[in-house]
Each structure stands twice: as structure tokens, then as C-alpha cells.
Amino acid sequence: MLICREVGEAMSIKLYDLVGHDEKRPFSPHCWKVAFALAHKGLEFESVPARFRDIQSLEDGASRTVPLIRDGEQVISESFRIALYLDEAYPDLPPLFKGEGTVPLTRFIERWAHQTVYAQIARMILGDLFAILDEGDREYFRKTREARFGQKLEDVPVGREERLPAFRASLDPLRSMVERQAFIAGEEPCFADYIIAGGFQWARVSSSFQLLETDDPVAGWFERCLDLYGGLARSIAAAA
Amino acid sequence: MLICREVGEAMSIKLYDLVGHDEKRPFSPHCWKVAFALAHKGLEFESVPARFRDIQSLEDGASRTVPLIRDGEQVISESFRIALYLDEAYPDLPPLFKGEGTVPLTRFIERWAHQTVYAQIARMILGDLFAILDEGDREYFRKTREARFGQKLEDVPVGREERLPAFRASLDPLRSMVERQAFIAGEEPCFADYIIAGGFQWARVSSSFQLLETDDPVAGWFERCLDLYGGLARSIAAAA
């Protein structure tokens, strides 16, 4: 990933990318979806580090969440909307969605990813996420997450080892696809792959907790995702 | 549904359709996927009742499972392969897959449907399925299902009321799509809708157990599926 904040790089797209205390380690799953998508299109981009408390002032308060991109005059938020924008704005570059009919089906897979994969990962890595945050973001994070989970932050991951079998079983739809082919759509990845890979990269960057057994076909698929685009996602070392 | 076994209807496609003791009540979810698919294409078909014990001799033993269709000289088995065949053989009729890119994504949704929705429904309605079978199919069914579940058939559905909240929660990816639009893909259904609807029709035809609350958006979506094609699926009364 280019981490580049020099003035005068007007041609490249800016991706406002959530980081913790180490601004070279973007960790947001939704931002990773967009990083994968930009690389898939072959578009140059700069990852602009942002902390939770910065988000509201980015691009004159254009969004309450990241990812947020600036592409010339265009400012777009939300990963799925950004992916749609990229295919529309750059129709001659490799498509993220192969045909209009794939958009709602990819949305379905996104909902599955968020409600099943992300939700379970979040519970397991919440303490690790808190630990990588910048000091100034911690109060906000604790307050919002404790409200969301209805529990003290430290209690949410308790018992995570016992939840692993159910988590791994819930990946069966993905597993049954990628045990026979490289990516969900076949030999080439599509946006659905990036949606799910974003979740695993989130865990990889923020936590050393081992979500997958190494011989799991899902682990093999994620390794292939890490290899994509010159090792874009692998260039951030796994959390130790 | 046409249930029509007169000689001389050479033009219409034959769908070998699994039934129990009442041969007018096809119940297999996989056969229902194909019935929906044929109707979606606007193809005439005759539902030819078959019992478990008949399958091996259908079309000279062409398949060990139903659905199985004969279309002129072609004999094809497995619901997903049949759907692909129909789009290939009848490219001018409404597509089940809107663009090649939708095929693997629909396959992903199929895996999700089987591993999540079908698996849970099967456990809940197993006793009801047994009860609608023809006497001559019961021994086969008991033996294979008891081996699969590792339990006595009568014990599998025990506690199903307590499993309903988890079942209903697992439908969130579907729910979050169809609470905003008529079908998964938008205003028109696609094969992914039929894959999931097949599972609910299986339950509807064989069991009076109420899987969904009536105000659940998933229930609303299934009602829309029942309305499709002149009420094709609704024409079989719900189990009392």
C-alpha cells in the first residue's frame, strides 16, 4: 500500500483509512474492502491515516464513517457505494461486479458477511482492537461498543476459544466454494471476496488470536487474498 | 402446476417430482426450485410424481436423485445444473441468471441456503416429512435419515420450538434484502430466490409447524413467491 501524503499527487485517489496508534497499520475491514477494490481496478491510491475522532472533519464532514474516498472532484463514502462508483467511473478497468445482476447477489453476500462473519469476529477481537487504538480514540470506542454489546468491553471476548467451532462452522458457504476454486467467483476474485477478506484482514492486523486452522480451505483462500496485488494486504504485518 | 400424464404431450418438459402418499403433493425443495425455474422461463411442464423407491428406475436409471427433467432428447438432473441448462437451451426466455457473473454468487447463496436454512428446517420437520411418505418409502427414509442425524427419527425434531429464534435470526441476510425490495435481486425474482423459496415450500407442504412469524419480512417475501406464476406453489395447499 502506498502511504503517501506528499502534496501534488493530485492524480491518485485518496482513501481515508482508519488507524490506531500506529498510523501505518490501517485496520478497518470496510476500508480494506476499498483498498482491495482500488487495487483490483489498478487505480493508484494513497492511504490517508485517520482516527475515529478525525472522521467527522474529513472532507468538510462529508461522512460520519470511513471508508471515504476523494477521486478528483468526487467524494464518496461507504464501501459498497465506493465499489459501485469505481465500476461506473472506470468502466474500462477490470470490473468489481461482472454484470449488473451480480450487484444484489453481492449485497446478499455482504449481509451474510456482516451478520455472520464480522459479528462473530468483532466479539472475539474486541479487546485487541481496543488495545491498538490511539489513546484519544479509546473513550469513544469503549462507550459505543459497550452500548452495542450491552457488556463491559473486556467481557465481550471472554470464552472466545469456545466460540471458535461455531464460528468456523458458520464459514461453510465460503469454504464449500473456495475448496474447489481459488476465489468465490472462480479463478479471479470479485468484490464479494474482498468483502469477506476485509473481515479477516481486520482480525489479522489487530489481533494474534487464531481464527482459522491452517489447513482450513478458508485459510488457503485468505492467503491467496493476501498475495493479491503485490501482497497489498500482506504488506501490513500480522499482529504479534 | 400441471399434473398431467396423458400420452402425446411431447412438447412439454417432464419434471420427475418427489411425492409422498398423496401424489398430487410434490414436496421436495430441490424439485420446487426447478418448478419455479421452469415457470420463470415460461416453459410448459408436467410434474410426474415419483417416490423415493422409483427414482433409481426413472429414465433408465439416469440419476440417483430428483429433480430430474426430460426435455426432448435431454435428460438432466440436479436443480442447479437444470437451471443452467434452461438458460443455455432457452436463451431468449427470461434468464434465471442475469449474466455469467451471477452463477458463482448464486452458488454461494445456494450453499448458504442448504447449510443454514435447509439444515435447520430439516431438523424441525423431519417427523412431519416421515408422516406424509408413502408406506413403501418409510423404511428407506428412516434408515438414511437416522444415519445422517445419528438419532432416532422421532427425536430429531424434539425441542424445535426452542430452536426457532436461532433459525429466524439466521435468516437475517435474506431478511435485510427483502424488507426493502420484493425479491433478492430487486423487483423480479431470480434463481437465488427460488433456491430459498424451495426450502420454505418443502416445509409448507409437509408440515404445519410455523417457521416464521407472520409479520416477518421473510414471510412477506415467501408469500410473494407463492403468488408467482399464477400461484404455482400456492396451488398445493399448506399442510394442515
Residue in B closest to A171 by C-alpha: B112
My answer on whether B119 and B83 are in the same domain is no
Are A129 and A83 part of one and the same domain?
A: no
What's residue B6's pLDDT? 46
Alpha helix (H) ranges present in chain A?
29-41, 79-89, 102-112, 119-132, 135-149, 160-170, 172-178, 191-206, 217-231
Over residues B107-125, the mean pLDDT reads 98
Specify whether A156 is located in the same domain as A42: no
Residue B51 is assigned to a structural domain of this protein: yes
Is A124's pLDDT higher than 90? Answer: yes
Q: Which residues of B touch A191 (CB under 8 A)?
A: none
> Does residue A47 contact residue A15 with C-beta atoms inside 8 Å?
yes
B4 pLDDT band (50/70/90 cuts)?
very low
Please report how the helices B119-132 and B135-149 are oriented relative to each other, as an axis angle in degrees rounded to 10: 150
Asked, for residue A149, whether it belongs to a domain, the answer is: yes
In a shared domain, residues A17 and A108: no
Interchain proximity A109–B106, CB inside 8 Å: no
> Does residue A6 surpass a pLDDT of 60?
no
Give me B37's grid cell: 425455474
Q: Are residues A123 and A64 in the same domain?
A: no
Q: What percent of chain B clears pLDDT 70, i.e. is strictly above it?
A: 96
Whether B106 and B206 map to the same domain: the answer is: yes
Based on the domain organization, do A81 and A122 belong to the same domain?
no
A to B CB pairs, distance under 8 Å:
84
Residue B174 lies in a domain: yes
Is residue A55 within 8 Å of A42, Cβ to Cβ? no
**Strands A68-71 and A45-50, how do they pair?**
unpaired
Q: Which of B89, B117, B143 is the last residue of a domain?
A: B89
For testing the chain A interface, which of B97, B108, B180 should be mutated: the one with the most A CBs within 10 Å?
B108
CATH at residue A165 = 1.20.1050.10
Pair (A61, A82) in one structural domain? yes
Tally of domains within chain A? 2
Summarize pLDDT for A46-78 with one digit per residue, the tens: 999 999 999 999 999 999 999 999 999 999 999
Determine how many CB atoms are found less than 10 A away from the CB of residue B66: 26
A108 and A220 both lie in a single domain: yes
Close Cβ partners of B80 (under 8 Å, ≥ 6 residues apart): B106, B107, B110
pLDDT at B115: 96
**Are B82 and B150 part of one and the same domain?**
no
Predicted interface score ipTM higher than 0.90: yes
CA-based nearest residue in chain A for residue B97: A101
Q: Is the dihedral of CA B16, B17, B19, B25 positive or negative?
A: negative
Per the structure, the complete domain to which residue B214 belongs is given by 102-231
- What CATH number does the domain containing B44 carry? 3.40.30.10
Confidence of residue A4 (pLDDT cuts 50, 70, 90): very low
Same domain, B50 and B130: no
B11 confidence band (pLDDT: 50, 70, 90): confident
| Bridge-based pairing state of the strands A68-71 and A74-77 | antiparallel
Q: Which of B101, B115, B173 faces A108 most closely, judged by CB atoms?
A: B173
How many C-alpha atoms does A129 have within 13 Å on its Cβ side? 27
* Residue of A203, A173, A207, A129 whose CA lies nearest to A226: A203
Do A127 and A227 lie in one domain? The reply is: yes
